[in-house]
Structure 1
Amino acid sequence: MLSTQYIDHINTLLEIFLICGVTACSISGALRAIDSRMDITGALLLAFVISNAGGTFRDLILNAPVFWIKSHFYIWLSIAIGAATFILCSFNTRLLTSRTLNKLVLITDAIGLGVFCLAGIEKSFLMGQNFSIAIIMGIWTAVGGGIIADVIANRVPLVFSSELYITVSLLGGILYIALGSMMLHALAAFIAVLFMVALRILSVKYGWKLPIIKT
């Protein structure tokens, strides 16, 4: 049985994870829309989808209230960040060079991947799920929005490539749970997110990939 103090502590962490994740993924969604030559409405759509879709399916599967319906703050946060990103890029076209844009997408996407993975894990534990379900929900929360956003943007979803993407959230989620049993959850979260962001960026920089079957 979880204590009230523990639940309050995890709820606070969960709120922080969600705010950071929605912010990072909204930026990433807007940048993907810009890269796909969409207008501001497309940017707002992708900002909302990539930052909320994964958590939506997680909450439905866990039979929990959908987080952005329970708190409309996350709707307006994703829309505001998406709009601000689009407007900023429209006034600073230097950000739209393919190299800079790809770097920005990579960094914001990596941050969202890491933070949302932890949000999914903690939400699962709050709903009384075990380690394995928490990891699965963490992965889905991290990658679900990106899959749908990439399909809308007519891009091949990263999870369907050989790049380290699901693997990053899997390893990061396991690391977070392991560290959480030995130290403060906030410190464990910081280390786990840093690990996932670094691993994701380094894997792209050095071309680390999982093996595929060549025919």
Structure 2
Amino acid sequence: MHTPAIGSIDILVAGDHALLREGLVEMVTAEPDFRVVGQAGNSVTAVQSVAARRPRVVLLDVEMPDRPVCATVRQIRRISPRTRVVVLAMDDDLRLLRDVLAAGAHAALVRSASRQELVGVIRTVCQEATSVLMVSHRNASQLAVPASSPLSRRELQVLELAAQALSNAQIATRLRIVEGTVKRHLTNVYTKLGAVSRLDAVNKAEAARLLQPSFRTGTPRG
């Protein structure tokens, strides 16, 4: 009988194609600290499994039947806030990938990603308070297109550092300002973006193309 590793990461694999699910299960179980705790073939079953098992990570295929992927992401986040949602897409449609991040997914990457890339993304979203967008080299340049921003230059600087999981004190040190000023800037950012948390603010800023998403075109840092 297999004994889970201490500190193992419980993963639910959700996709309507059995071959895709089996391939994902094979990839993640190759890691000694990863443990697949369930599989789901549709959105309803995926949400029910999350409610019952509270996995650390859900690998969610973007083309799940029953309901739109963004609605599924929101429901998973609502019933299990600690669960990290990683969405897998057929191709790197930037609008779609941004939409799932804005809905609350912690990462979005294409199905063609390698095992090392997938494992790296899972480790990253479990360890860092940031979102990950993995696209091809072909589309990576599109992420840097500037947009008209409701945020001031300083507010954008603070949010960019917050997206890197820096604390208020670390941001203050980096920008050479006091911690209270950082808090005030973040409060303004939340108000302007209608956000309720750092991650929510970062996701909404990335969806609106105010920030460049944290994308990886090689092996993500784990």
TM-score (norm 2): 0.27
Larger radius of gyration: 2
Higher strand share: 2
* TM-score scaled by length of structure 1: 0.28
